[in-house]
A and B are shown apart, each in its own frame.
Chain A
C-alpha cells in the first residue's frame, strides 16, 4: 500500500532479509487494511469475473445434467478407456487442495510464521478444490444415485463396501478431508469474522458476521481455547496431507494395469499434489494481491518462499517420473515397457512431452532469485505447472488404459464436449466460489497477521534491547 511504501528505504541491502510485513504498521492499520476488501463494494472487474464464472458454472450444471440424463455415454469413455476426464479432473482438483493443508496445518506445527498471510487463501482454495473434486467421483458412477453404497453404514442390504478396493477409502478420504478442511478454515475465521462484525458498516452485515462469529468476544479464555483447538485441528489435518493423495494414488497403484501398477505412486502423487497446490496458490495470489491492497502483507518474501517450495516439490515430482520409467525398464516386463513407450511415443506422446516441459523444466527457473521475484515469470510458470499437472493425470490414466495387455483391446479415446464442459465448468464454479470468498470473507487472517506483526516487533525490540545492553559491555571490555 502507498503508506507502507513511503517509509521504505530506496535502496535495499542484499543481505537484509526481505520483510514479511512491509512498511510501518500498527494493529489498527492492519485491521483496517485487511478488512477493506470486504467492506468495499464490488468493482467492475469483480462483476465481470463474477459473470464469467457464473457462466462457467452454468456450463458445469449443463454438463452435469447431460451426464445424469444420458449417462456416462455422453462422455468419450469407452472400453478399454473406462476412466478418463472424470478421474483426471478428480485427481487434478484434489491435488490442488493439498497446498492449503500443507500451508495451514503442517506449517503451523513447524511454527513457520510466514504462512500467516497466505493460509486463509490457501485454505479457501483447498476447500473449493475439494468441493470440485468431490463431485467427480460421484458423477463418474454409472448409477450415481446409489453412491452411498460406498459408505459403510448399517444397511438393510446387509452388504458392506469391499474394503480391498481403493474406492471406499477414496470416499472416506475425500469426505474426511473436506470436513477437516472446512472446520479448520472456519475455526481460523472466527476472530476475523468478529472483527468484521465489530467494524460492520450496516446492521445487516453486523447481524450476519455476528451470527457466524459465534459470539466471539476476544476474551483471553476465548483465545486460549481457540489456540488449543486450532493446534489440535492442525495436528489432525497434517496426516491428511499425506493420506488423501496416497489413497488416491492407490486407485491406480493397486490395479495391475501396466503404467499404473507402481509402488512409487503414493509419494510421487503426494509430491505432485503439493506441487500443483502451490502452483495454484501462486496463480491465484499474484493477480488478486494488487486489487485487494495486500502488498504489505503478501510480500515478495512470500512469493520467494512459495517458488522455492515449488522448485523443491517439482524436483520430487521429476524424480517420480524418472523412477516410473526406470522401473518399467528395469522390471523387464514387456507390458510395462510397452505401456511407457506408448506414453512417450504413442498417440498422446506430445502431451507427455508437454508435461515434461511444464513439470520438469519450468520449475528449474526458480534456482535464480531474480526469476523468483519476477512476478510475470512466476505467474506464467505457475500456470504452466497447473496445466502440466492435469496433463500428468491424463498421461497416467488414458494411455495406460488404451494400451494394455491384449492388442485387440487397444482403442483410441477422444473426449466429447461434455468432458470439456465438466472440466471448464468446474473451473468456473471454483472461480465463482473464490470470488464470493474474496468478497465476503477477510482473505488474509487479520488476527494472525497482527500476531505476526507483534512477534516481529517484539523480536525487533528484543534485538535492539540486546544491542543496547551489549554494546556498553563490549565497550567496557575494550
Chain B
C-alpha cells in the first residue's frame, strides 16, 4: 500500500530545537507519510523550496508542552488539565504554530478501541478541526484501513446532543466537586476494604487503566471490578479456557489458509483484528496468484462473511454447534486425525446434513495444516473449544494461528454481571458504583431491572456520552470525552500498544475513563495525560528529554515499537473438550428460533444516534434507519407473511412488534433481529423524533443471549415501516456483477468476458486522451467483501448530506458511492454479490451530451466533471446515466446541519445547494491537491500515492485508483486483467472504472447433486 497521506505534502515539520537534543535528523511529530517520518531528504528539500526562509522555521525555545498544545492545535492539554489546574485556553494564533498552515491539513496518529482493542487511526485535522478518519498503515490491526464505524466517529464527535458538563442528580456540578466528593468517599470505603464499591467498566486493553485497576484492587480488596459489554467476547474466552485451560485470543493467518470453516463467525467484519484478517483473507482469493482458498460458512442469518462464502451452509443458529460436532466426529472417524481418537464414537445422526459434513470434513482433512476452523462470538464455548481441538488436530494451530493473552479483562463480561449487580444494588449492598460501560440499563437482559437498582445506589457514577437510560438512573452523570478528545493508551490483540492522543480539546468538558477512576486509585491529582505518560515513562525506564523524544515518536507513528506480544504456546486439552462434547445434549429445536444479532451499524446501540450509520444501508438487507425481523422466503411463505407486514414476536411471554423483511438465504424457521435499535431518535436533524426500529433487548434473556427456540410469530394489523435503498435483489439475468467458478474461469481464461470489454464500434473517432494522467479506478469484486466502509468514507470525504428516513423511502439518498447487493441463484440458497457502484467516469458519458448548460463536462484527464455552479437542475443527466450514480439535491439538506457539525466538513469539497446534481468525482480534490504539491516541487504527480477516499479505506484493497498511463500501477494492471469488464459495456459508454469478476471456488463434491 502506498504511503498514507502523501497527497498532503506539507512542509516537513522542523522539530523545535530542544536544549541538548537539537540537531539534524530529528523526526517530525506530525507526519503525512512514512517517507516523511523517516526523513526523506527529497521531501525535506521540497519543503525548503516551498517555504521561503523564515516561514518554515520553528519557534525557538518551544518546549514539549507548547508543542503538544499545538499538536492538538486546540491545546489538548487544556482538556486533560480539566478543572484541576487553570485551563490552558485556546487563543487565536498570535504567532502561527509552525506545524499549522491555514488551508493545509495535518494528520495525526491516534487509535480507537472497538471491542476494547486498538485499531490505529490517522486523523486529518484542519486548523484543529478533525475532518476525516483514516486507518494507520503502521498499525497491525488497521494496515491503513478502517471499518464503517471508525469512519463515522466524527458524527459522534460533533454531536450537539452529547452530555454537557458534570451533573449530580440533574444539577450542574464542577468536576472538581466530583473529585473532592469521590476522594472523600474513597477514603471512607477504604476502611471497609471497598465493601459496596462496584466498577462496571467498558472492556479495554489500556495498560494504564489496568494499572489503575490494580491499584484500586489493592486499595479496595473487596471491591467488585467487572467489565461489561452487551456483545461480550465471553464465549471466545470461555471456549479457550475450556480448550487450553486459560482465556486466549486467537489470530488466524487467513492468507496462508486453503480451507476455512466459519462456525457462525463473521470474521471479516467482527472481532478485534477483523480489518487485518479481511485483508489477509482477500490475499488468499487471488486466482492470478494461484491462491484460492475455500470458505465454508455455517450460519443462520446472512452475514458479510456469509456473503463471501463459497459454500454457505444455512442452518438454524442452534444447529451450528451440532454441525461443529458432526464435523469433529467425521474428521475423527473417517480421516483418523491424530488426537481426535476419542471423538470417533461421536455420531449425531443428522442425515440431512451428512453430505455437507462429509464434504467439509474431507476438504479440511485434505488441506491439513492449511485448513482452519473458526467459531463466532455468538456460539457457546463448546463450539470454540471444538474449533480449537480441530485446529490442533489439523495442525493449523501451529501454522495459521497465533494465540495471545487477552488484552481485555477476560472475566465474564456479559449479562450475568448485570444480574449480580442488580441483585446487590437492590439489596442495598452497593454504595458506590462507577459505570463506564455503554448504557447497561438499555442493554440489560430481560429480568434484570437495572434501572431501579441503579437508582437505589446512593453514589452511582456514570460516564455518559448521551443522556441515555443509564444516565437517567445515575446520581452522577459525567460527560464522556470522545476518543478523538481523549488521552489514553490501548493495545491491539497482538499486544502492540498505541497512545491515544486527542485531536481537539473536549467540546463539552468531556472526561475519560481514567479521569473517572483516578479518585479511587488515589491519583485524583493526575490528569489522564500524566497518568498515561507516567505509566509509559516507568515502562520505558527513561526520563527527561530523552523520554520526551521517544514519546513524541510514539505519538507520531501511532504505535509503540517493541510492544508486540509473542504468540503463546498452548495445547488443547482434548480430555476437557471431550468431556464438554459428551455433555452436549441435543434437544431438538422446537418451532421458530429467535436469533439476535449484533447491530452491524449501531453495534450494541451506542451508535444509534449516529446519522451516517443510521442512513448507511445494511450490507445485506439494505435497510436504513431501523431494523426488521428477518425471515427466509420459505418461512415467510409458510407463515403467510409478506414483506412489510407487521408481526408480533412473542418469546417467553414477552412480545414486540416488528416489520417483516424477507431475506433470501436466511435460515428457515428462524427470525433474526438486530440488537441496538428501537430507541427514540432525539435529534432534530435529519429525522423528526421517532422510534427507529425495534428494541430486540426486550427479548434477550441472560441464559439465551443470542438465540433460542420457542419464538411465536403472529401477523398483526397494519404495516411495518422500513426504509430500504434496494428493492430488487435479482440481476434479472443481466451481466452486472459477475461471478464465476474457478474452474470455469480457468477454462475460459484467454477470452474471458471478451464481449464485455475492448473497443466498441463508434460512428466517430473517439477522443484521444493524451494527457500524462488518465484517472481510472478498478474494483475487484473478488476482493470486495461488501462491508460498506467505502460508502461512509466517501460520505465523510465529500460532505455528503444525510437525508433521513423519509427521503430514503422516497429514493433520494445522496450516496455518491453505493454498495449494490445482488443475489444469484434460488431465493433459498443464493449467492450474494456486493458491487460498489459510483460514477464510472465514462469516456463517452451519456450524461454530458444531454446537459443543456454544460454543467457536466469531460476533462482531458478522463474525469467526468460536475460543475455545481453551472447546474440548473434539469436532472436530464441522471435520467440518461445508465448506472444511476448521479444524486440530486431535491431539498436543501444543509439547514439541518448544526454549526458544530459544520466543523467536520472537508473544506476542500464544495457544499452543494438545493437543486443541483452531484456525484462521485474520483475525489478530484485529492487529485488537485496532489497536482499543486507536485507542481510546486516540480515533479510529476506520484499517482501511486494518490488514493480516492474509498480506495484508501478499503480493508481488502478491492478498490484501487490511479492513472492508466502508469503502466505498472495496480489500476492499470487490473484494467489488463483477464477478469476485468465494463458494466453495461454494450452501451458504449467506455467507463473508466473497471470491474473484475468475482471468482468462487466451490467444492465439486457439493456442487452437483
Contacts and interface: CB of A to CB of B under 8 A. Distances in A.
Given A140-B874, A161-B854, A76 B889 contact: no
The 6 closest A-B pairs by CB, nearest first: A142-B873, A142-B915, A73-B891, A73-B890, A78-B811, A167-B852
B113 to A, nearest CB: 35
A71 interface: yes
B851 A162 contact: yes
A78 B892 CA distance: 14
Interface string A61-100: 0000000001111001111111100000000000000000
Contacts of B852: 149-150, 161-162, 165-168, 171
Central interface residue in B807, B891, B915, by most chain A CB within 10 Å: B915
B619 to A, nearest CB: 13
Contacts, number: 166
Given A80-B878, A162-B852, A142 B732 contact: no
A396 B303 CA distance: 40
A405 B853 contact: no
A82 B879 contact: yes
B887 A79 contact: yes
Contact of A405 (B733, B734, B821): B734
A77 B890 contact: yes
Given A71-B914, A71-B915, A78 B890 contact: yes
B909 interface: no
Interface string A135-158: 000001111101101100000000
Contact of A72 (B727, B729, B736, B915): B915
A410 interface: yes
Interface string B474-512: 000000000000000000000000000000000000000
B728 interface: yes
Given A71-B915, A72-B915, A147-B872, 11 more contacts: A142-B871, A142-B916, A161-B853, A166-B852, A255-B876, A404-B884, A406-B734, A406-B820, A406-B884, A407-B822, A413-B811
Interface string B852-874: 11100000000000000011111
Given A141-B872, A338-B732, A410-B727, A149 B853 contact: yes
A334 B734 contact: yes
B712 interface: no
Interface residues of B, number: 54
A333 to B, nearest CB: 9
Interface string B683-699: 00000000000000000
Interface in B552-589: none
B734 A83 contact: no
B837 A165 contact: no
Interface string A402-445: 00111111111100000000000000000000000000000000
Interface string B794-834: 00000000000001001110000010111000000000000
Contacts of A147: 872
Contacts of B888: 72, 79, 82, 142
A176 interface: no
Contacts of A168: 852
Interface residues of A, number: 50
Contacts of B336: none
Central interface residue in A144, A165, A335, A401, by most chain B CB within 10 Å: A165
B884 to A, nearest CB: 4
A473 to B, nearest CB: 70
Interface of A: 70-73, 76-83, 140-144, 146-147, 149-150, 159-162, 164-168, 171, 251, 254-257, 334-335, 338, 401, 404-413
Contacts of B889: 71, 142
Interface of B: 726-734, 736, 807, 810-812, 818, 820-822, 837, 846, 849-854, 870-876, 878-880, 882-884, 886-892, 913-917, 983-984, 987
A171 to B, nearest CB: 8
A104 B825 CA distance: 61
Contact of B875 (A82, A254, A404, A409): A82
B874 A254 contact: no
Contacts of B879: 80, 82-83, 255, 257, 401
A255 B987 CA distance: 12
B765 to A, nearest CB: 17
Contacts of B884: 79-80, 404-406, 408-409
Central interface residue in B854, B873, B875, B887, by most chain A CB within 10 Å: B875
Contacts of A150: 852-853, 872
A73 B810 CA distance: 10
Contact of A82 (B730, B822, B878): B878
A409 B879 CA distance: 11
B850 A255 contact: yes
Nearest to A162: B854
A409 B822 CA distance: 12
B851 A78 contact: no
A129 B649 CA distance: 56
A408 B820 contact: yes
B810 A78 contact: yes
A159 B857 CA distance: 12
Central interface residue in A82, A255, A335, A406, by most chain B CB within 10 Å: A406
Nearest to A171: B852
A159 B812 contact: no
A329 B876 CA distance: 26
Nearest to B810: A78
A54 to B, nearest CB: 30
A80 B731 CA distance: 17
16 contacts: A72-B888, A76-B810, A82-B878, A83-B875, A140-B874, A141-B915, A161-B853, A164-B850, A165-B849, A255-B879, A406-B882, A408-B728, A408-B884, A409-B884, A411-B727, A413-B811
Nearest to A409: B884
Contacts of B850: 164-167, 254-255
A409 B815 CA distance: 13
Nearest to B890: A73
A413 B983 CA distance: 25
B732 A407 contact: yes
Contacts of B807: 73
Nearest to A138: B872
A418 B884 CA distance: 25
Contacts of B846: 255-256
B804 to A, nearest CB: 11
A406 B871 contact: no
A149 B914 contact: no
Contacts of A401: 879
Contact of A78 (B812, B880, B987): B812
B890 A405 contact: no
A86 B543 CA distance: 74
Given A142-B888, A142-B914, A408 B822 contact: yes
Contacts of A162: 849, 851-854
B734 A407 contact: yes
A147 B852 CA distance: 11
Given A142-B914, A406-B736, A406-B837, A79 B886 contact: yes
Central interface residue in A82, A149, A164, by most chain B CB within 10 Å: A82
Contacts of A254: 849-850
Contacts of A255: 846, 850, 876, 879-880
A71 B891 contact: yes
Contacts of A73: 807, 812, 890-891, 914
Contacts of A257: 879-880
Contacts of B728: 407-408, 410
B984 to A, nearest CB: 6
Contacts of A256: 846, 880, 882, 987
B756 to A, nearest CB: 14
A410 B724 CA distance: 12
B760 to A, nearest CB: 13
